[in-house]
Amino acid sequence: MTLIQLKYFQTICKYNNITRASAELHVSQPSLSNAVKELEREFGVSLFTRRSRGLELTPEGRYFLDEADKLLEQAEQLTTNMKHMSTTDRTLTLGLPAMSGSLVFTDLLRTLYARSPGTHIQVMENGSLANRSKIMDHTLDAAIITRNGPLSPGIGHVALRHVNVCLYLSVMHPLAEKDTVTTDDLDQLPLAMLPEDTFLDHCINQYYENLHLKPSIIVRTNQLATIQQLVATNTTAAFLLDHVLEESSDIVKRAVPGLLPAEIDLIWKSSRHLSPHLKNLITAARNI
């Protein structure tokens, strides 16, 4: 039994069809058929029953697929861990949201380079929700996220900053004359919002849902400069983390009742091997 045989078997099971598995793997159909026959001969069991609609797993085949999935996942994890043990490649892939990243990334990078000047960062711009997913599937070494709830099991983290969510308005907007806004003020308020993979989108949609309202989202963008211009010209209002936009002669911010404060974290998958440069990043996060 080899890993390549397991991969062939797994892909055949994905489609219950050797022809489609052959197209995905770019491997000839006879090679796939022979791989299955070799496995059946090695273990003395039938893995498939042939039906008019395609292949069907036998009970032994279903058990074998479950175990093959586990072995292939472990092999992929081992490959990833061994690559990260290399001291020659000091590049870290870091997921960075536009909004929360603007509040902490500079300090994090400065602290990291003071400790480990040879480390290189490859920034991948994603929202917090996408970053969580990419951490778990090993696409990212680490990520910055914003949250106001618990983290999933298996994620290590360092808290970087606690922040409030504010409503940013043009000074020309009638709500700018109020110290705080009410829930009635938010109904039908035109909004510029960050993309749907962000913490803030999830947070604000949940907030409005609890009020039995629907946010009036005019535009979505991850460009903070665009949001700033939309707010300054009184085209839209915007919910953002405190200090993301500075108050000015054009823009004011107001507290919103019932919006929970948020936490900005550095996260990583706790079960992965921590390379020296990832350890340095975590240490830097604890010291900013």
What CA–CA distance (Å, rounded) separates 268 from 95?
A: 10
Q: Are residues 71 and 99 in the same domain?
A: no
Same domain as 175, residue 158: no
- With cut-offs at 50, 70 and 90, classify the pLDDT of residue 214: very high
Residue 54 has a pLDDT of 82
pLDDT tens column, 137-190: 889 999 999 999 999 889 999 999 999 999 999 999 999 999 889 989 999 999
Instruction: List CB contacts of 157: < 8 A, sequence separation 6 or more.
Output: 151, 265, 266, 267, 268
Distance CA 222, CA 206 (A): 20
Indicate whether 253 and 275 sit together in one domain. Answer: no
Are 115 and 248 in contact by the 8 Å Cβ rule? The answer is no
| Cα-based angle 255, 260, 262 (whole degrees, multiple of 5) | 100
- 184 and 119 in a single domain? The answer is no
- pLDDT at position 117: 84
Q: With bands split at pLDDT 50, 70 and 90, how would you rate the model's confidence at 273?
A: confident
Total count of residues recorded for the chain:
288
**Given the DSSP bridges, would you call strands 91-96 and 142-147 parallel, antiparallel or unpaired?**
parallel
Same domain assignment for residues 225 and 199? yes
Residue 90 has a pLDDT of 65
Judge if 236 and 251 occupy the same domain.
yes
- Write out the E strands in the chain: 48-51, 54-57, 91-96, 120-125, 142-147, 155-163, 165-170, 190-193, 216-220, 238-241, 251-254, 262-269
- Of all residues in the chain, the percent with pLDDT exceeding 70 is 97
Confidence of residue 216 (pLDDT cuts 50, 70, 90): very high
Q: Per residue in 24-69, pLDDT tens?
A: 888 899 999 999 999 999 999 999 998 877 899 999 999 999 999 9
Indicate if 78 and 207 belong to the same structural domain. Answer: no
Domain encompassing residue 206 = 165-260
CATH of the domain at 14: 1.10.10.10
Task: Say how many domains are in the chain.
Answer: 3
Evaluate whether 146 touches 260 at the Cβ level (below 8 Å): no
**pLDDT score, position 84:** 61
Query: CATH number of the domain that 176 lies in?
Result: 3.40.190.10
- 175 and 105 within one domain: no
Per-residue pLDDT at 79 exceeds 90: no
121 and 250 part of one domain: no
Does residue 142 sit in the same domain as residue 203?
A: no
More confident residue, 82 or 271: 271
Mean pLDDT computed over 223-246:
95
Determine the pLDDT at residue 275: 84
Backbone angles phi and psi of 212, in degrees to 5: 60, 40
The rounded percent of the chain whose pLDDT value lies above 90 is 75
Instruction: Tell whether 26 and 150 lie within a shared domain.
Output: no
The residue among 54, 84, 114 that closes a domain is: 84
Same domain, 73 and 101: no
Contacts of 122 (CB under 8 A, 6+ apart): 91, 92, 93, 94
- pLDDT at 201 > cutoff 90: yes
130: which residues sit within 8 A by CB, 6+ positions away? 95, 197
Closest CA to 199 of 165, 247, 230: 165
pLDDT digits 0-9 by tens, 101-119 = 889 999 999 999 998 888 8
pLDDT of residue 86: 58
Per the confidence metrics, is the pTM higher than 0.75? no
